[in-house]
Amino acid sequence: MIDISQRYQILAELGRGGMGVVYQARDVVLGRVVALKRLLAKDNRFVIERFLKEAKSIAALNHPHIIQIYDIGEDRDGLFITTEFVEGADLARLIARQGKLPFKVALKIIVPTGEALAYAHERGVIHRDIKPANILLTQAGAPKIADFGLARLESEKELEKTGLIMGSLCYTSPEQFKTAKHVDHRTDIYSMGAMFYEMLTGQSPQFFRADEIPEPFKAVVLKAMQKDREQRYQNMRAMLADLHRVSRNAIDAAGKTTAPISPANETGAAPTTDMILIPAGPFRFRSEARVVQLPAFYIDVYPVTNRQYAQLVPGHVFAPEEAEHPASKVTWVEANAYARKLGKRLPTELEWEKAARGSDGRIYPWGNEFSADRCNAFESGIGAPTSVKAYPEGRSPFGVMDMAGNVWEWTSTFLDERQAARVLKGGAFNGAAKFARCDARFAYPERGLFPAAGFRCARSAE
């Protein structure tokens, strides 16, 4: 029997229900903040068995948009479980505060959530209680599915004997009201449809009205919420495929109806950018075996945004909500010309990498472990560029932002002696974690239009 107080320091109570209480706690051994869930009904064997199933079902899952389990134990007060702690709000609070969400915001939550559920379903795990309160949002806005306390493994039959109805009424599939014995993964699909309805309309599914659903997404919501589960999407991947298709159409339609933003036409002013001084000194380039000395230089804190780029290039067109996204679909020649207009230049690969990793040879700007909460990469599940200020926790040791994921960034360095292509760094929203490494590189012809390429500027300190 362990003494939990020797391992965890309780910081605050986060919530309390009939089955348990959740605390914010500090793991004093590993030095991290966790969520600690204490089971109150310690004498109820059925509840205890469900609690253990919760721990096992979560522990079997490893996905960036599912809360990670760290530990499970028992002391004199009964069972407890510790999980990842998410410092942020949940989707229910976001909707309560903002009402209906812009469809791009809704998609950036519903798609990664769907990817996580598809992952769980493919491993035999059903959540059974998908609702906005169980979708936690990190400070960067990334969703994480919480409370698999009502999940069960499809291969296990114990819960089927009880016939218990679980879940929250507004998001609960019709079959759960009839019996919980034969509920399958399609109950989560219904709940996803109900939750997406609330995100798009700002109205509770309790007061469902099909005419309130924005037209591009109506068919998806209605199919997900079919009362007959045989008429629903039969798996999460099918729903995601339709979401991707209709979202592309919606984004294209929004772009056609949005007037170009050209601030230069209004003010004629040159864009202003903040730069950071990177001090002279050594750093490890591309491998720990190669140490390079660089003179001091300045580099932009953020990639050049659509708003900034349009101030000098009036023909650059983008939607209003993309003003702070990195300027992309920019060739090397165009990026270099922009920098020169401001009396700057593009950074060399050496400069870019030092600004990203510092002098300690770290793998990512923030450290040596990949985190989907610190950058916009494929694993983040967003599927499109985001604001250059969306991931403050992903800053480099020098305070340079957005150097991993979002869009690749042009450098002035040629790939090789043939001088046929320039090096890009940093990875992109559609690239895997390995491309977000500081030492990763890609190359493209300098006059080629690479859709996921952006840039930032540099200048010498002397």
Which residues carry out catalysis? Answer: 129
Task: Give which of 220, 208, 126, 223 is closest to 169, Cα–Cα.
Answer: 208
| Among 428, 349, 436, 430, CA closest to 396 | 436
CA-wise closest residue to 439 among 431, 427, 430: 427
Query: Are 204 and 145 contacting, i.e. CB atoms less than 8 angstroms apart?
Result: no
Handedness of CA 75, 77, 80, 86 (dihedral sign): negative
> d(Cα 223, Cα 192) in Å, to the nearest integer?
11
Q: How far apart are CA 393 and CA 176, in angstroms?
A: 41
Two tokens, residue 333: 């020649």
Which residues, in sequence order, are CB contacts of 74 under 8 Å at separation 6+? 1, 2, 80
Neighbours of 440 (CB within 10 A): 20
What CA–CA distance (Å, rounded) separates 117 from 134?
A: 13
Cβ(308)–Cβ(327) under 8 Å?
yes
- Give the whole-angstrom CA distance, residue 231 versus residue 239: 12
Tell me the Cα Rg of the chain. Answer: 25
